Structure 1
C-alpha cells in the first residue's frame, strides 16, 4: 500500500496521477476506509449469528439499522462538508468508526457482547461513514485539475474494486482464523490508516463562506434548489437515489439467495464474487476510454441498463456447475458496466457542480433504505422487485439531456448561484 508520508503535492495539472502526492494520500486513505467498511458489513451479521444465535429477522434488522443513517443524515453531512473543512470531517468520521468498532472485540473478550450493542455499533458506524463519505467524494475536485477528474475517479474505482474483493476474502480468512470479533481489529486499523492519510493531504480547499447565523436547514434547502435548477444534475441525482434504494434490496439478500436456491458452496460463492471483482476492476480502468469512444451519456445509460438484465439469471438459477459459471460471467459483465457508468456519472456530477455545492449535491442522491422489506417479503420476491426497480434509472436517463452528452461539458458559471430563502428546507 502507498505510504502516506511523502513530500508536498505536485501541481494538480500534472499528467501523472501517481506522482500527485495529495491524490495518492487521498486514494490510500479511501481504499483503507472501503476495506474497513467491507469487513464491518461481513463481520457484524456473522457475529450476530455465530455468537448470539440471531434469527433471520434479527439479522435483517441489524442490516437495516446499518443502512438507516445514510437516509437520515446524508443531507446534513453534505451541508457540513460545504460549510466546514472536508478533511477534518473525513478524519472525524474515521476516528468515530474506529472508536465504536473497537468496543466489539473488547466486549467479546469480556463475554459481555449483546445484539443490542451490535445494533448500536451498526448505527453509530453508519452515521460516521455518512460524515466521511459526504466529505470524501466532494473533496476530490479540489485535489486535481478538472482535466484529471475522470482519470482520478477511474483510479479510485479500480482500487475500490480491488479492496472490496480482496478484503472480502481476507476478512473471511481472518474470521475463520481469529474469529469475527477479533477480526474486527483489522477494521479498526483500516480506519486509523484512513484518518492518518487524510491528515497528510496538503492541498488547500476552496474558500467557504462563513456560516454566520444561518441554520443548517437553510443550507440544505439551498443545495437542493441548486440541484433542481440543473436538469442534468437533477436527473443524475434521481438516478442515484433510485439505485441506492434498489441496492438496499439486492445487496442485503443476494448472497443469502445464492447460498440457498442455486445451493452454491462457500468456495463457489468466493469464485463468483472474485470473477465479479475482476469485471468491476476492468470497468473502472476502462471507463475513460469507453466514454471517449462512445460518449459519456451512452456509457452511463448502458451501465444502468445492463444491471436489471443481469438479475434475470440469478432469479432463474438452479443448482449445478453450469449455473454457477453463468452467474459468474453475468456478474462480471454487470459489474464491468456498472463500474464504468459509476465512474462516468460521478465525474460528470463533479464537473457540472459549483464547488460551493459539491457536498450537498453528492449527498442529495441518498434515499430511504430498503433493507427492512426483507423482513416483510420472501427473498426471491424482494430480488425480483429490486430488478424491476432498476429499470427506472434507465428511463430517467433516456428522457434527460444526459443521453445526448458525448464529451464532458464546461464547468458551471459560479456567479449564478441561487440564494437560500429564510426557513427553507
Structure 2
C-alpha cells in the first residue's frame, strides 16, 4: 500500500478545506445578522425568537431520518452542491425583501426553514463523505483540520459582521452569506473522492433502510450513550442560546458590534479545542476526553446567566467571552473525538443513515427546545430560563460519565464486520443524477462542520 501524502499537502483535500472555510465564513455572517434583524429591526419577542430558532432546526426532526437513507442512495457531492445552491438562493431573499420595505418575521421563518432542510442534507452528506475522501487512519487528522479552520471562520465571521454592522444594515450581510455558499458549491465541484453511489435493490423500502441506520446506533454500546449525552446537552444549550440575543442586546445592553465580538472571540476556544483534541485524547485517553468535555460544557453554561447580574456591561461582556471560549473548547474536543469514532466504526454503506439517525435525536430536540425557550422566556424571564438550562446541561453528562468511555484509552476504530448485502443487477435511478456503478465517476467532495453539539 502506498503511503498517503500529508493532508495539508494534498491538493484534493486543500480544495475540500477551502470549501469548508469559505462556506463557514459566509454562514457566520448570516448567523450574526439573523438575530440582529429579528431583535432590532423587527422587534421580535421572546416567543417569536423561539419560533425562529425552531423553524431553523425543525428539518432535523421532520426529515432527518429519511434524509439519511436518501443520502446513502445518492452521490453525496451532488447533494452538498445542490444544498449550497438552495441556501444561497433562499438567504438572498432577505436583503431583497428588505430593499422593498416588505420584510416581516414570517419571511424569516420561511427562509430559516428552507435553509434548515437544505442543511440537513448537506450535513448528513458531509459527515458521510469524509471516509471516501481520506484514508481511515487520516479521519481524525482531517476532522481536526476541518474543525480548526471552521473555527477560524467562526472567529472572523462574527467579528467581521460586527464591524460591518457599523457601516451597513444587517440585511446586507446576507449577501455575503449567499456568496459564501456559492463559493462552497464551486470548491465542492473541484474535489474528487472514491465514492461509488450505492445500488439499491428494487425491493428495498425506505422504512427498512431507516431502521437499519437506527438499529446500528441504538445497539452500539458507546454510540447510544453519546447520543443520549448530546441530545440532553442540545436541549439545554438551545434553551439558553435561543435567548442569547435578547440577553446581550436588551438586558445587558451591548451594541450589535459587541454581540459579534462575543460570538467571534468565543470561537477562539473552538480553534484551541480542535487543535488540541488529538493531544488531549492521547494524554487523558480518547474515551475519557468525551465525558470530561461534557462536564466542562455544562459547568461553563452557568457563566451566561451569571453575566446578567454583574451590573456593568463591560464586566458582563468579559464573562460572556470566557463562557463562549470554554464552551466552544469543550464542544470541539467532544466532537473531534466522537465524530471521528463514528466515521471509523460504521460500515461505509450505513454512514449516511448512521449520521442521520444521530442527527435526528441530537438536532431533532433543538426545535422543541427553542419553542420551550420562547415560552419559558415569556413566562418566567430570560435569566430564569437560562438557569433551568444550566441544571439540564449538568445532568447531560451522566450517560457518558457512568459509561465505559470514562477511563478508555483508545476508542474503537474498526467498522462492523458484517458486509453489505449484495445488490441486484437492476439499479434504482438516482433522483439527483448520480453516476451508476460501472460508469466513470465524476468529482466529489464536501464542506461543512464536523460536529453535533
Q: 1:34 to 1:263 in 2, by over 3 A?
A: same
C-alpha distance in 1, partners of 2:107/2:418? 49
Alpha-carbon shift at residue 397 of structure 1 (Å):
0.8
Q: 1:73 to 1:13 in 2, by over 3 A?
A: farther
Map of 1:94 onto structure 2: 84
C-alpha distance in 2, partners of 1:260/1:99? 31
Map of 1:351 onto structure 2: 344
- Does the CA-based 8 Å contact 1:161-1:281 persist in structure 2? yes
Alpha-carbon shift at residue 46 of structure 1 (Å):
2.7
Map of 1:374 onto structure 2: 373
What SS does structure 1 have at the residue aligned with 2:166? helix
From 396, 399, 404, the equivalent of 1:396 is 399
Alpha-carbon shift at residue 324 of structure 1 (Å):
4.1
Map of 1:407 onto structure 2: 410
Q: Which moved more, 1:341-350 or 1:315-324?
A: 315-324
**Alignment of 1:276 onto 2:273:** no
C-alpha distance in 1, partners of 2:419/2:336? 27
C-alpha distance in 2, partners of 1:416/1:250? 43
Q: Which moved more, 1:319-328 or 1:227-236?
A: 319-328
Deviations 1:127-158 (A, max 9, x none): 11111111011111211111111111111111
Q: How does 1:256-335 map to 2 (within 5 A)?
A: 256-264=246-254, 269-317=259-307, 318-320=310-312, 321-335=314-328
What SS does structure 1 have at the residue aligned with 2:243? helix
- TM-score normalised by length of structure 1: 0.88
Alpha-carbon shift at residue 304 of structure 1 (Å):
0.5
Map of 1:47 onto structure 2: 37
RMSD after superposition: 2.5
Q: 1:13 to 1:211 in 2, by over 3 A?
A: farther
The gaps in structure 2 that reach 5 residues or longer are: 423-453
Alpha-carbon shift at residue 310 of structure 1 (Å):
1.0
C-alpha distance in 1, partners of 2:248/2:278? 33
- Does the CA-based 8 Å contact 1:223-1:357 persist in structure 2? yes
Larger relative contact order (Cα-Cα within 8 Å, sequence gap ≥ 6):
2
Q: 1:120 to 1:263 in 2, by over 3 A?
A: closer
Q: How does 1:153-164 map to 2 (within 5 A)?
A: 153-164=143-154
Q: 1:47 to 1:275 in 2, by over 3 A?
A: closer
**Alignment of 1:21 onto 2:24:** no
From 169, 192, 195, the equivalent of 2:182 is 192
Map of 1:134 onto structure 2: 124
- Does the CA-based 8 Å contact 2:285-2:409 persist in structure 1? yes
Map of 2:387 onto structure 1: 384
C-alpha distance in 1, partners of 2:269/2:295? 16
Q: Which moved more, 1:333-342 or 1:286-295?
A: 333-342
Aligned residues between the structures: 409
The gaps in structure 1 that reach 5 residues or longer are: 1-10, 420-425
- Does the CA-based 8 Å contact 2:39-2:246 persist in structure 1? no
- Does the CA-based 8 Å contact 2:49-2:374 persist in structure 1? no
Alpha-carbon shift at residue 263 of structure 1 (Å):
4.8
Q: 1:393 to 1:359 in 2, by over 3 A?
A: farther
Alpha-carbon shift at residue 270 of structure 1 (Å):
4.7
- Does the CA-based 8 Å contact 2:23-2:180 persist in structure 1? yes
Deviations 1:225-272 (A, max 9, x none): 111221112222222222332232122123432445555555654554
Alpha-carbon shift at residue 79 of structure 1 (Å):
1.6
What SS does structure 1 have at the residue aligned with 2:4? coil
Q: Which moved more, 1:242-251 or 1:63-72?
A: 242-251
